[in-house]
Amino acid sequence: MTTEIPSEGAATASGILAAFDAIDGTVSVVGSMNADYTVTTQRLPGPGETVTGGPLTILPGGKSGNQAAAAARIGADVRLFGAVGSDTNADFLLGELGKAGVDVTHVRHVPGPSGTTVITVDASAENTIVYSPGSNASVDVDYIDASREALTASGALGLCLESPISAVTEAARIAHEAGVPVLLNNSPFMPVLPEELVEHCDILLVNEHEMAQMLGLDEPADGDWSGFDWRDAAARMRRLGFPRAVVTLGADGSVVLDVTGEGTEAAAAGAGGDADGVRVVRIAPVKVDAVDTTGCGDAFMGTVLAGLASGFDLASAARLASYVSAYAAGGRGAQSSYGGVEDIRARFAA
């Protein structure tokens, strides 16, 4: 049985973008910073194939750095925790994050190279990414424990899996036990997450392919998710340990799954809830002519973090995130494509 999911498309762009005025929370992000070595090609190479690309560019990236930059650019007070190396990329990464408004005073410096990624982007804006951890691998439990005071003073904590899993788990535990909402982006993807990490995370953010793998579900053969049984997915996600989740669908928007018992009130308000406490909300996509999708998921994540830290409900945060990530798709690179509040309003408010 499938369930019709209410769309958020009826809300006006200007009404959704007005939420920028309420972004005032404090966000902590623990994880990675990378120098992105990016080249564009007409098409992505197949196995063993060489293709000709355009000029090589070096841009600031790393999933955690991207998420922090996106949150800071839309007005959140953002602290980043991680490590850079002793190379020239370290100054470059920290300098770009500082320009975005991110507090990098908690970032540690270690000998050796900083994190890097090698990215290929094709003419249709699809990409492949190879990640080399470098200094990111030195983010350990002792460093996280030493950062406890700053982590627990935040309104939301963002995590991904580009740092050692022990450090990620410790950060989640410290924040969760202090009552700080923890948002985990399961990327780079792990089909089975450690039980202790799941126990201390409040919300999961995955794309549709990752969700299907985690839950053991078949994806729609035609790629059309409109008839998918999202209520079943929400129940499965709850059994997996995540009562709240956001599933991004690329150009098709996103879906918010909530099995925290708030569905009864949501149903009374006509917001997609049900008497069994399940709330499923389809967030409409924002249509743009994509240039490069690198970092769009991180822009979405950073916006959700900023919203949660500012007191937004999950659906409202995801609704605003659809505009921020769509704006990012219109530029090259990750952080270099992110806009501030006025940039995004100017693009979409009309």
Q: Are 180 and 154 in contact (CB under 8 A)?
A: yes
Backbone angles phi, psi at 234, to 5 degrees: -65, -40
Residue 184 has pLDDT above 90, yes or no: yes
- Please report, as a single letter, which amino acid is at residue 38: T
337 in Cβ contact with 330 (< 8 Å) = yes
- Range of lowest pLDDT (92-106, 151-165, 212-226): 212-226
Written as six digits, the tokens of 20 are 């920028």
User: What local confidence, expressed as pLDDT, does residue 79 receive?
Assistant: 98
Give the C-alpha separation, 154 to 181, whole Å.
Answer: 9
Pairing relation of β-strands 34-40 and 115-121? parallel
CA-based nearest residue to 81, from 146, 35, 132, 128:
146
Residue 268 pLDDT > 60, yes or no?
no
Q: In the predicted model, what is the mean pLDDT of residues 117-142?
A: 91
The beta-strand segments (E) located in the chain are 26-30, 34-40, 57-61, 77-81, 83-84, 108-109, 115-121, 127-132, 156-159, 182-185, 203-207, 244-248, 254-258, 279-283
Q: Where do we find the tokens 């409409």?
A: 284
Q: Is the pLDDT of residue 175 over 50?
A: yes
* H and E: helices and strands count for the chain: 13, 14
What is the model's pLDDT at position 7? 44
Chain segment 62-109, per-residue pLDDT in tens? 999 999 999 999 999 999 999 999 999 999 999 999 999 999 999 999
The band of 222, judged by pLDDT with boundaries at 50, 70 and 90, is confident
Cα-Cα-Cα-Cα dihedral sign, residues 315, 316, 321, 326? positive
Q: pLDDT class for 174, splitting at 50, 70, 90? A: very high
Q: What percent of the chain has pLDDT over 70?
A: 92
Domains of the chain plus CATH, in order, are 13-34+62-114+133-348 (3.40.1190.20)
- pLDDT at residue 224, rounded to an integer: 86
Give the model's confidence band at 112: pLDDT under 50 very low, under 70 low, under 90 confident, else very high.
Answer: very high
Mean predicted confidence (pLDDT) in 169-192 = 97
CA pair distance 203, 241, nearest whole angstrom: 10
The lowest-confidence range among 16-20, 54-58, 277-281 is 277-281
CA 6 centroid distance within chain = 23
DSSP secondary structure of 279-331: EEEEEPP-----S--TTHHHHHHHHHHHHHHTT--HHHHHHHHHHHHHHHTTS
- Average pLDDT across the chain, whole number: 91
Task: Return d(Cα 256, Cα 5) in angstroms, integer.
Answer: 10
- E strand or H helix at 71, and its extent? helix 63-73
